[in-house]
Amino acid sequence: MEAFWSSLKNEFAQRRRFATRADARTAIFDHIESFYNRSRRHSSLR
């Protein structure tokens, strides 16, 4: 789980500024659903 949060911070969140917490939540959810779960190769699949 720590690797997931680290990846999220490094790949996505550090490059952005969000106006509200709701904006951040929506953007992070979209990133996880559209990129992380579909495109990123998971360590369990290696």
pLDDT recorded at residue 17: 87
pLDDT recorded at residue 38: 64
pLDDT recorded at residue 40: 59
Tens-digit pLDDT profile for the chain (46 aa)?
A: 788 788 788 877 777 888 999 998 998 888 888 776 665 555 555 5
Q: Which residue is listed with tokens 């290696």?
A: 46
Per-residue DSSP letters for the chain? Answer: -HHHHHHHHHHTGGG---SSHHHHHHHHHHHIIIIITTTSPPGGG-
pLDDT recorded at residue 20: 95
State the chain's maximal CA–CA distance in angstroms. Answer: 37
Its pTM stands at 0.58
